Amino acid sequence: MEHPLNSIRHGYLEVICGCMYSGKTEELIRQLRRCEYARQNYQVFKPVVDDRYSEDEVCSHNQDSISAQVIEDIYDLYRHLRHDTQVVGIDEAQFFSDDILEVVNKLVKNGRRVIIAGLDTDWKGRPFGPMPNLLACADLIHKQYAICMVCGEAATRTQRLVNEDKDILVGSFRVYEARCRRHFDPDLSFLQKPPKNPPPLRPV
Ligand SMILES: [Zn+2]
């Protein structure tokens, strides 16, 4: 069945969400490549906080990439937006302020298709930044799933593996992994646990 949005000529908001390693950026890149084939003009934006891999590119974990404009504030998007841009992609949207909703709504009202990718929950399992509001206003939602590194089931949570008292820890390898709800441990209790079978004390 054809998706109802395929026949829509005016703007709409699409949100790609999920935990880390769920392929959000891959999906964003896939959608933008399709725009390329359809000869639609697109631009991609991302927040300055994310400096992994490359400054001016949007990179998936499998190293596929597309060039992006790094912006400090979501309102900076207007300064870089070209008048003939039909599709606007925004990656790592969870790091923008709630003002993103106003900006996105305006872009959609002007007839643009907006594709947002972002983490829906943070390392504590809490809704992340403006993502809940964006999801509430989306016309189309893609929820992506990763694989739980403990049991291999579908993962929806981002597990932090190191004890750092910071809300945002950029980076990925050995800092985060994907977990299912059952194996998600937001209190990091695994770091406090003593070893299961401590060696017996030797008599002196
Ligand atoms: Zn699991």
CA of residue 70 to ligand 1 center, whole Å: 35
Residue partners of 82: CB distance under 8 A and separation at least 6: 41, 43
Q: How far is the CA of 182 from the centre of ligand 1 (A)?
A: 6
Q: Cβ of 192: how many Cβ atoms within 10 Å?
A: 8
Q: Once rounded to an integer, what is the mean pLDDT over residues 113-120?
A: 98
- Res 172: pLDDT: 54
What was the pLDDT predicted at 199? 66
Cα 156 to middle of ligand 1, angstroms: 10
Domains of the chain, each with CATH number or no CATH: 4-144 (3.40.50.300)
Q: Rounded mean pLDDT of the chain?
A: 88
C-beta separation of 89 from 43 below 8 A: yes
**Distance from the CA of 14 to the center of ligand 1, in angstroms?**
28
Distance CA 118, CA 134 (A): 10
Instruction: Provide mean pLDDT across the span 56-65.
Output: 78
Burial class (CB in 10 A: 0-12, 13-18, 19+), 200: exposed
**142 CA to centre of ligand 1 in angstroms:** 21
For the chain, give the percent of residues with pLDDT over 90.
72
Distance (angstroms) between ligand 1 centre and the Cα of 75 equals 39
Model confidence at 194: pLDDT above 80: no
Per-residue pLDDT band at 192 (split at 50, 70, 90): confident
Supply the residues annotated as catalytic: 92
- DSSP secondary structure string, the chain? ---GGGG--S-EEEEEEESTTS-HHHHHHHHHHHHHHTT--EEEEEETT--SS-SSEEE-TTS-EEE-EEESSTTHHHHH--TT--EEEESSGGGS-TTHHHHHHHHHHTT-EEEEEEESB-TTS-B-TTHHHHHHH-SEEEE--EE-TTT-SEE-EEEE-S--S-S-----TTTEEEE-TTT--TT-GGGTPPPSSPPPPPP-
pTM score, two decimals? 0.85
